[in-house]
Structure 1
Amino acid sequence: MNQQLGQIALLVPDYDEAIEYYTNTLGFHLIEDTVLSDVKRWVRVAPPGSTCHLLLAKAADELQRNQIGFQAGGRVFLFLYTDNFYRDYHNYRAKGVEFIREPSEEAFGTVSVFKDLYGNLWDFIERK
């Protein structure tokens, strides 16, 4: 059997604000932005070279709005791999990305943790 993750839904409060952050701050590509109705769009972004996409899902009600930034219960939710940790780390810091853990060298590679615009925690990793 051959399987892979295709996309992960990420709750956001506003499509355009999320697109701006993920494309201009994190450098992701806008894969698709299709209007489905007056209130719903199909918006997908992905890091360069990735086959797994984030589906930016606008919170539709108060219950969903309360989960923005807390979809993993306060744990690291997403893992972003890079081919050059310090290049991207310094670039992200210059763009205002908040790192909550200083870089460290681990057996698996160089790692740090950052918060995205909504408070989601990401492991940022250059694997050995």
Structure 2
Amino acid sequence: MCRSPPCVGARAYRRVMDMKLELVAVPVTDVDRAKEFYVEKVGFNADHDHTVSDEVRFVQLTPPGSACSIAIGKGLTQIVPGGLDNLQMVVADADAIRAELVGRGVAVSEIDEQPWGRFAYFTDPDGNRWSLQEVPAWSGSGGAGAGDADQDQQA
């Protein structure tokens, strides 16, 4: 029996290295249309766009402030375009980001108030579904950019 945490099942484990999610493949039908949507409408940064061969094109896009990027392209995944139904980004202010996206022409849902956060939803041109979550202040995380405010107060 496991007596010293952390435990998995009946065995103790020791963390020996960090693991950081840094890239998620998002399946799309039209790479150029998707790239334009994510960069021009949603505001992602265009990091890379490389055609490796006739079968492979790799486009890396990163949301502002994120350590994790998405990859769209050709020959990157076997997931059906539109097959991702809950990609989530944490934002500091759901109302502000919703207004920004609507102003850029993105169809975004009204704010969905939940005890665990405030959400807005949108889909890309292929139907991949995204949620934007404003984390409640009581959660300790306070949403995206909250650490910046904490650092300012400590300075």
Same fold, TM exceeding 0.5? yes
Task: Using structure 1 for the length normalisation, give the TM-score.
Answer: 0.81
Query: Which residue number in structure 2 is paired with residue 48 of structure 1?
Result: 64
- Asked whether the equivalents of residues 8 and 53 of structure 1 are also in contact (C-alpha less than 8 Å), the reply is yes
Query: Which residue number in structure 2 is paired with residue 31 of structure 1?
Result: 47
SS in 1 for 2:110: strand
CA distance in 2, matches of 1:11, 1:42: 12
AA aligned opposite 1:68:
P
CA distance in 2, matches of 1:9, 1:98: 22
2:112 to 93, 104, 109: 104
SS in 1 for 2:59: strand
Matched, 1:79 2:94: no
- How far off is 1:41 after superposition? 1.6
**How many pairs does the alignment contain?**
119
CA distance in 2, matches of 1:120, 1:106: 22
CA distance in 2, matches of 1:89, 1:57: 27
The structure having more radius of gyration, on CA atoms, is: 2
1:68 to 77, 81, 86: 81
Structure 1 stretches lacking a partner, 5+ long: none
2:129 to 117, 121, 126: 121
Query: Which residue number in structure 2 is paired with residue 95 of structure 1?
Result: 104
SS in 1 for 2:53: coil
For the aligned residue pairs, the C-alpha RMSD in angstroms reads 2.0
SS in 2 for 1:51: coil
AA aligned opposite 1:6:
E
Identity across the alignment (%): 30
Bigger RCO (CA 8 Å, 6+ sep): 1
1:18 to 30, 34, 48: 34
- How far off is 1:36 after superposition? 0.5
Q: Which structure's residues are more often strand, by fraction?
A: 1
- How far off is 1:39 after superposition? 4.0
Structure 2 stretches lacking a partner, 5+ long: 1-16, 137-155
Task: Using structure 2 for the length normalisation, give the TM-score.
Answer: 0.68
